[in-house]
Chains A and B, each alone.
Chain A
């Protein structure tokens, strides 16, 4: 059964509308019948097992993948439209794992976020101010002149998020930002995202495997496995047993089939 508990209020502005979306890759349908609306200021956790289509959905929203069927509108525009450049911020998993052959400081990395498609060759106005503000927002100003490769996983993620913030993006999409960072950094990163959502009115769509962590922060959870299996408030997110039911996983062991170690040995002897 597909749970669809979210009824977006009529007055809230939908900045992302995904209507009946199906996307195939290499001839195989990865996601189908996706319907999703995201309103301004929401913090959505997109979860699902490996190969469930989370990245495919995100890449389609960004306009990197073309839909097989269906429609995507971001700020009432098609993905990759000129009018939405700068409104979207993308924080990929790869971005935080910069190759060691790239020597770049946090300030230089954040500065890249200020590049605009409309003024590629011009000097960006208030560039220094934008960079400093973005670094302060994520609390990485102390490492401004440090080489990114020397930072911890959590600091690197903050630097990459600062890059997205420097572009003054309103809608930030993050792909697995909690991977490879320690417990303390994970908690402070989640707090930072929550702060960005409440204090800066950013809309956040975050992909994560870490359901327990994302449940502590997101306002709304979307569970994806080929299609959306759950879309609703975080507090109503199904427990593990219900989740297994949603995924079509039935219990393997019951009382009848439980083999005690003693019985198992007996069987072996009989053979």
Chain B
């Protein structure tokens, strides 16, 4: 049994407790509602994957925002789409491993280009985003055989944008199989432990990298580790919300939390609350209205942000009007 199977064994009994109070016709299946006495494992796997990814994405997103790297998730998600496309045309059993390899390399290169000031701002992210998305789209249309020295004949069967590929683009929780859950679980657990153990150093390097260096914190090493973790978490999110919507879970809950949090710790807690609420409401409506899970989660997440921002703006206008600015 893989890591995903162990997590399923631990958490499905807990989720089943909530079945009697879960509304809807389809939504209860995510918690373990049975058909002919048997729960639908596919649905349970989907919910557990979504919750794991949301928790890790929330922690990662909090650090991405303070490091002004809100768009790197989007960039790496597109890179991972390129990786998935390469994996699919090469006939890989689990294309996510290709996505992990491609996005890790891209994350390290983007970090180096930015820290060495070869490219400033988000230019490096934009180049990788478009370049790797283009590679994915091109390679999916190819249908040919290459003779590569050492490797021999390599057959490329593009096949175009199939339902599987759409699942990677827009997210399809129900396509998460046991192998994918193993990889997602591994990434989530390792990333969460790494982020929590490095949290003070990540905060110190984000606030004042120079002071952190003087303190003896390995700023460059921390930056590279953070880039690798970001790449891995983004890959784990691809099947949950899709390449095009990764930012919804990575950045939106953390940005909403910044509107209400008063400390970094409280922002982290609020991020988790907003993230999990977005996923649960998004899954409920997507299952009941039969829409895409990723897009509905992203939409709910954006609505929660808009509502929170509106409430805060109204509260600020009434309670503490600003200076005489026109």
Residue from A95, A116, A118, A147 in contact with B208 in the complex, judged by beta carbons closer than 8 Å: A95
Q: How far is the CB of A145 from chain B (nearest CB, A)?
A: 7
- Using an 8 Å CB-CB cutoff, how does the interface string of B250-262 with A read, 1 for contact, 0 for none? 0000000010011
Q: Is A228 among interface residues, defined by CB-CB distance under 8 A? A: no
Q: Is A94 among interface residues, defined by CB-CB distance under 8 A? A: yes
Q: Is A101 among interface residues, defined by CB-CB distance under 8 A? A: yes
> Would A104 and B208 be within 8 Å (CB), given that A115-B217, A117-B216, A121-B197 are in contact?
no
Q: Is B51 among interface residues, defined by CB-CB distance under 8 A? A: no
Q: Is B322 among interface residues, defined by CB-CB distance under 8 A? A: no
Instruction: Report how many residues on chain B are interfacial, defined by Cβ distance under 8 Å.
Output: 27
Residue from A95, A103, A121 in contact with B261 in the complex, judged by beta carbons closer than 8 Å: A103
The answer to whether B213 touches A64 (Cβ under 8 A) is yes
Give CA–CA (A80, B262) in the complex, Å.
35
A91: chain B residues within 8 A (beta carbon): 211
**B interface, over-half SS:** helix
Look across to chain A and name the residue whose beta carbon is closest to the beta carbon of B261: A103
The total of Cβ contacts below 8 Å across the A-B interface reads 85
Give CA–CA (A101, B216) in the complex, Å.
25
The answer to whether B66 touches A102 (Cβ under 8 A) is yes
> Would A90 and B210 be within 8 Å (CB), given that A102-B66, A115-B215, A121-B197 are in contact?
yes
The answer to whether A109 touches B207 (Cβ under 8 A) is yes
The answer to whether A85 touches B216 (Cβ under 8 A) is yes
The answer to whether A111 touches B200 (Cβ under 8 A) is yes
Residue from A90, A98, A103 in contact with B267 in the complex, judged by beta carbons closer than 8 Å: A103
B210: chain A residues within 8 A (beta carbon): 62, 64, 90, 92, 94
Residue from A86, A94, A99, A163 in contact with B216 in the complex, judged by beta carbons closer than 8 Å: A86
The answer to whether B201 touches A90 (Cβ under 8 A) is no
Q: How far is the CB of A61 from chain B (nearest CB, A)?
A: 10
Q: How far is the CB of B30 from chain A (nearest CB, A)?
A: 33
Q: Is B156 among interface residues, defined by CB-CB distance under 8 A? A: no
B211: chain A residues within 8 A (beta carbon): 90-92, 95, 163-164
Q: How far is the CB of A191 from chain B (nearest CB, A)?
A: 24
Q: How far is the CB of B68 from chain A (nearest CB, A)?
A: 7
The answer to whether B206 touches A103 (Cβ under 8 A) is no
Q: Is A105 among interface residues, defined by CB-CB distance under 8 A? A: yes
Give CA–CA (A82, B214) in the complex, Å.
10
Range of interface residues on A (Cβ < 8 Å):
35 or more
The answer to whether A92 touches B207 (Cβ under 8 A) is no
Q: How far is the CB of B319 from chain A (nearest CB, A)?
A: 14
- Using an 8 Å CB-CB cutoff, how does the interface string of A180-199 with B read, 1 for contact, 0 for none? 00000000000000000000
Q: Which of B200, B206, B216, B262 lies at the interface centre, i.e. has the most chain A CB atoms within 10 A of its CB?
A: B216
Give CA–CA (A111, B216) in the complex, Å.
15
The answer to whether A86 touches B206 (Cβ under 8 A) is no
Within 169-219 of B, Cβ neighbours of A (below 8 Å) are at 197, 200-201, 203-204, 206-208, 210-211, 213-218
Q: Which of A88, A101, A105, A163 lies at the interface centre, i.e. has the most chain B CB atoms within 10 A of its CB?
A: A101
Give CA–CA (A76, B258) in the complex, Å.
45
A145: chain B residues within 8 A (beta carbon): 262-263
Look across to chain B and name the residue whose beta carbon is closest to the beta carbon of A96: B208
Give CA–CA (A62, B210) in the complex, Å.
9
B68: chain A residues within 8 A (beta carbon): 99, 101
Q: How far is the CB of B112 from chain A (nearest CB, A)?
A: 18
Within 142-193 of A, Cβ neighbours of B (below 8 Å) are at 145, 147, 163-164, 167
A105: chain B residues within 8 A (beta carbon): 262-264
Q: Is B265 among interface residues, defined by CB-CB distance under 8 A? A: yes
Give CA–CA (A112, B208) in the complex, Å.
10
Q: Which A residues are closer than 8 A to B by beta carbons?
A: 62-64, 80, 82, 85-86, 88-92, 94-95, 98-99, 101-105, 108-109, 111-113, 115-118, 120-121, 145, 147, 163-164, 167
Complex A-B, nearest 8 residue pairs according to Cβ-Cβ distance, in ascending order:
A117-B216, A85-B216, A105-B263, A90-B214, A112-B204, A95-B208, A90-B211, A102-B66
Can you show 24 pairs from A to B with CB atoms below 8 A apart? Answer: A82-B216, A85-B216, A88-B214, A95-B211, A102-B264, A103-B263, A103-B267, A104-B263, A105-B262, A108-B263, A108-B265, A109-B207, A111-B200, A112-B200, A112-B207, A113-B215, A115-B201, A115-B204, A118-B216, A121-B197, A145-B262, A147-B262, A163-B211, A167-B215
* 11 more CB-based (< 8 A) A-B contacts, given A104-B263, A112-B200, A112-B204: A92-B210, A92-B211, A98-B207, A101-B65, A102-B66, A103-B267, A105-B262, A115-B215, A117-B216, A117-B217, A117-B218
